[in-house]
Structure 1
Amino acid sequence: MHSDRLNILFVSQMPASPPRIGAQARMHGLMTELAQRHDLTAVMLVDDEHDIEECRTAMQAYCRKVVLVRNPFGRDGMPKRLLQLRSLVSPLSFERLRITADVVRQTLDDLLGSTRFDVVNLEFTFLGHYELRKAPAGEKLPVLVVDSHNIDYDLARQYAQSGDSLFRRLYSEVNWRKLRKEELGTYRDADGVYLCSAADERRLLEEVPEARTAVIPNAADIEFYRPRADGPKPDGRTVVFFGLLSYAPNVDGVIHFINDIWPRIAASHPDARCKIIGGSPPSALLALAGPRIEFTGFVPDLRPHLAEAAVVVVPLRLGGGTRLKIVEAMAMGKAIVSTTLGAEGIEAVPDRNIMIADDVESFAARVSGLLGDADRAADLGRSARHLAESKYAWSSAARALEGFYHTRLAISCGTDGKAPTLRQQQRCAEL
């Protein structure tokens, strides 16, 4: 059974490749591995920020068929703000409004009506209101499996409590409740849900105890991200943070680090410098740049920047899932200092594979200690690399996902001890 070649449709509100943010890295990593043993088709929306032909070319390298749909609502700036205002008086969340369009529905209907898939893999839940269990006449329906990158309504609820402006907090307070209803509805309807961490799995099962779940952790391309003998060496003074800088948890974490933690590090290490790597930084972040604080913007290759870093920091206070930045930094053999939340879902042993600190003084002290002890930083980095090799390769994650697909295909009638959903009863009648 596990050797059967599957026909899998991936559906997402963003293209998987080229991977430039964490969500894309997860999709790209799993899909490229699965494509070695299965037939992949992709239907994905493309916002204006992406080059649609670049995405198409990148994804055609591993997908049998790629259908990219330009998102009519995928614009930043004023159009996004107007849509957010519209969402305040709509029963739908902003996230659902921005991907609800006739062209999306028609594209999915046409493909599902003409091609039979074994599995429809939905990324996130925002497209969950479309009818994704369809097949040509006389063919069996596919199983629907959802990749929960985060419990998104929980993130929105966190923003409501800690937003940087009154408007953002009020907006999030209204939006997260609608998002919760939509997200949980998609989880309940799915044949299976896989999550990035055991903590997110517990959160989901508290809300939807009947859900069939699996943990498929984030991982890294451990051959691409690896220490190289001919690469730059740690310089002993550079502290690096990397991640998409339009993402609220990253923005909050960087502001917290620069304002509250960095001054303590800089005082004890006058030659230290802070490098913040990531695209789309808001003006509030750029205003924090200085002689020893650099914002690089997007970089096409993280590896040389990580190679020369003395320490990688993950000072996150908001978020869910697991951080790609941690597993990629581990694969590069870097010493990492993170908050407990930042490292959630990573099976790392504090002070062996990673350092954990949740208050300002402890975080600064751990970073400063590593800047002053290159041997300790190297030991921590080697241990982190070993952990990445043993637990966080995309090949292992994809094999686990493949097994989950086969289990969902085989056990879709409630034979795993849980009552079948109405959707599963319908599928069982066809088997």
Structure 2
Amino acid sequence: MRLLIVSPWFPYPPDNGSRLRAWHLIERLAQKHEVRLIVGRQEDACSGEIPLKIPTIAVPWLWHQPGATGKAGALRALLSATPRSILETPNPAFVEAIARELALKPDVVLAMELGSDAYLPEQLPCPVVLDQVEISGLEQAWRQATTPRERATRWLTYTKGKSYWSRRLRRYHGLTAVSVAEARAVEALVGKPVTIVPNGVATKEYSPLDKPTGVPGRLLYNGALSYGPNRDAVLWFVEAILPKITERIPEAHLVVTGKADAAPEALRQHPQVVLTGFVPQLQPVLADAQVCVVPLRAGGGTRLKILEAWAAGLPVVATTIGAAGLDRSREGEHLLVADTPTRFAQQTAVLLRDSEKRRAVAQSARTLAETHYDWDAIVLKLEECLQQQKS
């Protein structure tokens, strides 16, 4: 199959969720098919290279800068049917690169994430599958707004986005989503079936049988604090949950991996918090921890941090939002779920105190990761979707 892949994210190194998905899917598809690649190049990847021998075009990626066009731009965006984040992010070089590659007449185009949509031609000349469609976050953000002004602004963003994407998504030959809930939301919006292609983990890269008992009391959160939901999760955990854990287990402490440039001073100075910054190899950090905590209160998709913990034999405590999208998991068997500070602290303390409980939950989760969330199995689902659309 002659496959053109369009990715807004530069996929290497795979150091965040979007890059991880892009990298693992591209790498595996390139092993079986004739792949050509167009990728956005972010500033932090300006000197990077993709270690795959496939034709690649890298185009500077232009992020939306809120308020960059001033009051006049805000008024134009308000009156437009196109969301402002799209209206104010033109990228002619990306459009031109896609047009040149489409002239080569690929069998199928795989466009990764909604961020690809604005740069594809209005009339698609060949079958295009849009991967990892996520629209539920707009409604979630609106419903979680805490002030009248914020609620009104987010409601406008939600209603405009819903109308815009209901039109745009209908033009695609195939759509994928990472979870049942997200697939149902997209199906309700566009009235066409959506293929579930979940997020995954390369289980062979982890050796859970060799995992030591971990540093006593060590809790792990893997996520860059430059991302708002990650920052909120860590602050909530440290302020509302960690003190309740240390009442029971004084040696409990939290290690946060990922970029920490945006970390508040309160986290930097906290005696029971360690900010590692970006860690190129996560496996040693996972091996040192006893429990992975995912106290997310916002955000969409499937938590790759949970899948990585499962693959490494590390038990997980998560909020309902943190565990969202893991459709095959069962609470109490593959992970523990809690949504209040008291309950979250209790569940975490149980795992810290009970090594047999930790081991049982971790083993069940590892098995689930191997059978249903390994990238080798997941790419087969995506291949089937692409083959069905092949021209």
TM surpasses 0.5: yes
Deviation, structure 1 residue 395: 0.4
Match of 2:267 among 285, 288, 292: 288
Gaps of 5+ in 1: 1-5, 136-140, 410-430
Equivalent position amino acid for 1:112 in 2: L
Equivalent position amino acid for 2:131 in 1: D
- Whether 2:384 is the aligned partner of 1:384: answer no
Q: Deviations over 1:305-354 (max 9, x none)?
A: 11111100111121222111111110011110011221122111211111
Q: Deviations over 1:168-214 (max 9, x none)?
A: 666544433333333333321100101100010111111112x2311
> How many pairs align?
385
2: CA distance between counterparts of 1:158 and 1:88?
A: 25
Instruction: Tell me the secondary structure at the aligned position of residue 145 of structure 1.
Output: strand
- Residue 203 of structure 1 corresponds to 185
Match of 1:271 among 227, 245, 251: 251
1: CA distance between counterparts of 2:238 and 2:109?
A: 43
- Whether 2:215 is the aligned partner of 1:226: answer no
Instruction: Tell me the secondary structure at the aligned position of residue 250 of structure 2.
Output: coil
Q: Deviations over 1:208-227 (max 9, x none)?
A: 12x23110111101111332
- Whether 2:2 is the aligned partner of 1:13: answer no
Match of 2:106 among 110, 117, 127: 117
- Whether 2:66 is the aligned partner of 1:70: answer no
- Mapping 1:20-419, distance limit 5 Å: 20-48=15-43, 50-54=44-48, 57-58=49-50, 61-62=51-52, 64-71=54-61, 73-74=62-63, 81-82=67-68, 86=73, 89-90=76-77, 91=80, 92-97=82-87, 99-113=89-103, 115-132=104-121, 141-151=125-135, 154-162=136-144, 172-209=154-191, 211-227=192-208, 229=210, 233-284=213-264, 286-289=265-268, 290-346=270-326, 347-409=328-390
Q: In structure 2, do the counterparts of structure 1 residues 348 and 107 end up closer, same or farther at CA, with 3 Å as the change threshold?
A: same
Does the CA contact (< 8 Å) of 2:291 and 2:348 recur in 1? yes
Instruction: Tell me the secondary structure at the aligned position of residue 32 of structure 2.
Output: coil
Instruction: Tell me the secondary structure at the aligned position of residue 164 of structure 2.
Output: helix
Deviation, structure 1 residue 269: 1.0
Deviation, structure 1 residue 9: 1.2
Q: In structure 2, do the counterparts of structure 1 residues 88 and 40 end up closer, same or farther at CA, with 3 Å as the change threshold?
A: farther
1: CA distance between counterparts of 2:69 and 2:294?
A: 32
Does the CA contact (< 8 Å) of 1:235 and 1:308 recur in 2? yes
Does the CA contact (< 8 Å) of 2:4 and 2:101 recur in 1? no
Q: In structure 2, do the counterparts of structure 1 residues 251 and 87 end up closer, same or farther at CA, with 3 Å as the change threshold?
A: farther
Deviation, structure 1 residue 146: 0.5
Percent of residue pairs bearing the same amino acid type? 28
Q: In structure 2, do the counterparts of structure 1 residues 367 and 84 end up closer, same or farther at CA, with 3 Å as the change threshold?
A: farther
Does the CA contact (< 8 Å) of 2:4 and 2:110 recur in 1? yes
Does the CA contact (< 8 Å) of 1:47 and 1:70 recur in 2? yes
Equivalent position amino acid for 2:41 in 1: V
Deviation, structure 1 residue 129: 3.1
Does the CA contact (< 8 Å) of 1:95 and 1:126 recur in 2? no
2: CA distance between counterparts of 1:194 and 1:295?
A: 35
Does the CA contact (< 8 Å) of 1:40 and 1:63 recur in 2? no
Q: Deviations over 1:349-389 (max 9, x none)?
A: 21111111122211110001111112211221111111111
Does the CA contact (< 8 Å) of 1:88 and 1:171 recur in 2? no
Equivalent position amino acid for 1:401 in 2: L
Deviation, structure 1 residue 257: 1.3
Equivalent position amino acid for 1:338 in 2: A
2: CA distance between counterparts of 1:190 and 1:146?
A: 7
Gaps of 5+ in 2: none
Equivalent position amino acid for 1:34 in 2: L
Q: CA RMSD in A?
A: 2.5
2: CA distance between counterparts of 1:80 and 1:232?
A: 46
Deviation, structure 1 residue 81: 4.8
